[in-house]
Amino acid sequence: MRKTLVVAAALALSASAVMLASGARQATAQGGGTVEVEVKYNGAPVVEKIKVNKDTEKCGTETSIEKVVVGGNKGLANAVASVPGAKGAKAVKGVIDQHGCKFQPHVVLMTPGELEIKNSDDILHNIHTYSTANPAINKAQPKFKKTMTEKFDKPEMIKVTCDVHSWMLGWVAVTPGPAAVTDKNGAAKIENVPAGKQKVEVWHETLGKQEKEVDVKAGQTTKVSFEMKGK
Ligand SMILES: [Cu+2]
């Protein structure tokens, strides 16, 4: 009788231990922290205005190449903030659209895997990537080909142009960890960052790269600021 009780108690104990352990595991998987990144740039914006004389019914007669976009309060737009060393990032499929003869968004984020390339312009475009870690692509995308899919398996910042419209410029940021792109005020929010010391990296297409270490706490927001320097 006593023996049965002991066994039952031991069983109950081990069951609760298992429950505790799985609860803890769940907390680590979902209970990362948030990193709010602010990126400033003290220099002048670089936005080239271009006259267009091709496919003007879709592209307009004037466009711009946005190399350095600086918004309110010196915030730097289109910078990629990421935590490259963080394990277990949620898979993000990249989607880029050629719309109004521009790549939209200017910087698209994805984890290694597939990029969906859309053509919503009803004219011929061309996808030309400049990559080294991934195979380079140079493919026409005729107007009837509304979507194409390409694979980028290696982390890399990939420049994308269109050989039909010389001004078209975009970037595909293939990042292994969680990431976000700064908005017009230079702000980006990286979610689901595992707790602990993490390296936050900021990259901008013309201003280069910087990194800082932050201490991420589960369920909390950590703030970090960067100031990019002109070249
Ligand atoms: Cu084009």
CA 119 to ligand 1 center in whole angstroms: 9
CA 207 to ligand 1 center in whole angstroms: 25
**163 or 73, greater pLDDT:** 163
CA 165 to ligand 1 center in whole angstroms: 4
pLDDT band at 52 (very low <50, low <70, confident <90, very high): very high
Q: Which residues surround ligand 1, an ion (CB under 5 A)?
A: 125, 162, 164-165, 168
- Residue 12 predicted with pLDDT over 70: no
CA 159 to ligand 1 center in whole angstroms: 14
CA 68 to ligand 1 center in whole angstroms: 21
- Residue 145 predicted with pLDDT over 90: yes
At 230 the pLDDT is 79
Looking at every residue in the chain, the average pLDDT score rounds to: 89
How is 70-102 classified by DSSP, letter by letter?
B-GGGBBPS-EEE-TT-SSPPP--EEEEE-SSS
CA 168 to ligand 1 center in whole angstroms: 6
- Residue 1 predicted with pLDDT over 70: no
Tens digit of pLDDT for each residue in 100-140?
A: 999 999 999 999 999 999 999 999 999 999 999 999 999 99
pLDDT band at 90 (very low <50, low <70, confident <90, very high): confident
CA 166 to ligand 1 center in whole angstroms: 8
Retrieve residue 61's tokens: 């007669």
CA 145 to ligand 1 center in whole angstroms: 13
CA 187 to ligand 1 center in whole angstroms: 29
Q: What is the pTM of this model?
A: 0.85
What is the identity of the amino acid at 216? V
d(CA 149, CA 154): 16
Retrieve residue 82's tokens: 């990421």
| For the chain, percent of residues with pLDDT exceeding 90 | 83
At 16 the pLDDT is 44
Give yes or no for a contact between 228 and 204, defined as CB atoms under 8 angstroms apart: yes
Retrieve residue 35's tokens: 């990193």
- Residue 20 predicted with pLDDT over 90: no
